[in-house]
Structure 1
Amino acid sequence: MAQVQPPAGGPHNVVVTQPVPTTVVVSQPPQRNWMVPAILTCLCCFWPTGIVAIYSAYRAKEAASSGNVLEAEVQSKRARLFVIISLAIGVVLFVIIIIVRVSSPTTNQY
């Protein structure tokens, strides 16, 4: 067999790399903060369920800041649910009030 000669110019080093396990950090996107919609639906739509939405949004924020991702997700979904419920009840009540006002006969005749 023929010997392989290194190219002219001196000795060369051969570097062999081996696969190395890599560290992968998986981070969840932050949960949506439902505090502002909760406050608005509490003030403008239906306050009983709005208060529950505010409380749930607060608990979601606290859980996220302490690193409890699972609890933050649960409380964020709960806050969203109560924001939607408050908004729906508020819209239905608003429509009912308008219908009653328009359909009631006026009794203030001079």
Structure 2
Amino acid sequence: MKAYLLLWRDTAFQTKKAILLNWDGRLSNTDFETFKQATKQEIVLATERVEAFVEKQMKQIQSRKKGIEKVVSEWDLQEIPWNTYNHQISKIKEQFNELNGNF
């Protein structure tokens, strides 16, 4: 999921950059449209991968004898990375806001 969020951040940056280059005449309308289509395909593919991963995880959980109870007990033994993720995700949000403010 973290990689998915980073993809969105990077895509937002590249899109802002492409818009500016297009406005400045350094990126043709044709190339800009090609960029938009390629970006859309990349996001769609990444979304499909995330959905497939979640579906696979759910099937694995459901196929276990004790299902979700066993998975949760395994998770309890792992170090919880949420504080780190929360910090990183908030940084991504700040970066989005900076991009919007700068362009």
Q: Which has the higher contact order (CA 8 A, sep 6+)?
A: 2
TM-score class, shorter-chain normalisation, is 0.3 to 0.5
- Kindly indicate which of the two structures has a greater share of residues assigned to helix: 2
For normalisation by structure 2, the TM-score amounts to 0.47
User: Which entry has the higher C-alpha Rg, 1 or 2?
Assistant: 1
For normalisation by structure 1, the TM-score amounts to 0.44
